[in-house]
Amino acid sequence: MKILLIGDIHGNIEALDAVLTKEVNKIDNVIVLGDIVGYMANPKEAIDSVKDFDCILGNHDYAMCNPDMIWWFNSVARQALTWTKKQLREEDFTFLKGLPFQRIYKNENFTVVHGCLGDDPFEYLLDIYQAEKNFKLMSTDLLFVGHTHVPIIWQEDSLENIKELTTIDYDKEILLDEHLKYIFNIGSVGQPRDEDPRSCYVIYDTEKYSVCYRRQEYDINKTVRKIAENDLPKFLYERLMLGI
C-alpha cells in the first residue's frame, strides 16, 4: 500500500491541488496531518478537497472550533484566523469538530499527530529531547508529524540512541530498518519554512517499508495575489515566496 501524507495546507489550494494532481492516482490512501485552514485565502476549498481523506486536527483547525484559542497565536496568525472563521460554512465547522487529535494505524505500523504525542498534541517537536519523549510514547515503530513546517527525520535504535537526519534527498526512496524506530516530520504543503517554497510531503510504501520525501512546485503567484486581494497580512505572502 502506498500512502500519501500531507499537512499544514493552511488554505493554500494551489499548492494542495498541485500535490494531489501529481500523486492521487498513484497511491492507495491519503492522510492529512492537520492545519487544513489558516493563513491563506481558500480555507473552504481546502476542506472540500480533503474531507474524504483521513484527517487529524491541527492547532489552526482547532482554533476554528474553540474561539478562545485564537488568542494563543501571534498577531499575524490571529488576523488570518479571524478572517478564516468568517469564510467557513457551518458544515466546515462540523467537519473540523469531528476530527481526532491523532490516528494509529496498527496494521501499517504507524501513527500520525500534528505536533507531539502526549498531553499536548500541538507542542512543537523541535529537537532531540522532544524526539526522545515521543519515542517513549510511540505504540508503533513509525510516527509522522507536522506543525513546524520543516522536514526532518529522527531514528532510534534498540539501545535508545537517537540520530537526527536534517539532510533529505528528495525523490529518493528511504528503505527503513525493521530494528529501528522513526519519527518523520513531513514538512508543509501550504507554507514551507525550510527556505524552499515548494510544497513538501511524504509517501510511505508499506510493502517496501520505505519512505520518500517529495517537493512540488505550484502557482505561488496566484496564491500571493489572493492573499493580497483579501487584505491578509503582507508578511504571509512575503514568507511564502521565500519559504521561511
pLDDT of 155: 98
The three-state secondary structure class of 180 is: coil
* CA neighbours closer than 13 Å in the CB half-sphere of residue 197: 16
Q: CA–CA distance from 73 to each of 79, 107, 165 (Å)?
A: 9, 37, 29
Q: Are 111 and 143 in contact (CB under 8 A)?
A: yes
Nearest Cα to Cα of residue 6 among 183, 169, 203, 168: 203
Each residue's pLDDT, cut to its tens digit, for the chain (244 residues) gives 999 999 999 999 999 999 999 999 999 999 999 999 999 999 999 999 999 999 999 999 999 999 889 999 999 999 999 999 999 999 999 999 999 999 999 999 999 999 999 999 999 999 999 999 999 999 999 999 999 999 999 999 999 999 999 899 999 999 999 999 999 999 999 999 999 999 999 999 999 999 999 999 999 999 999 999 999 999 999 999 999 9
What is the structure's pLDDT at 132?
A: 98
Q: How far apart are CA 59 and CA 37, in angstroms?
A: 10
Global pTM reads 0.97
Name the packing angle between helices 90-97 and 43-50 (round to 10°): 50
Helices marked H in 51-181 — which ranges? 59-65, 75-87, 90-97, 128-137
pLDDT of 160 = 96
Radius of gyration of the chain (CA): 17
pLDDT of residue 96: 99
Q: What domains can be seen in the chain, in order of their start residue?
A: 2-242 (3.60.21.10)
The confidence score (pLDDT) of residue 67 equals 86
- What was the pLDDT predicted at 166? 86
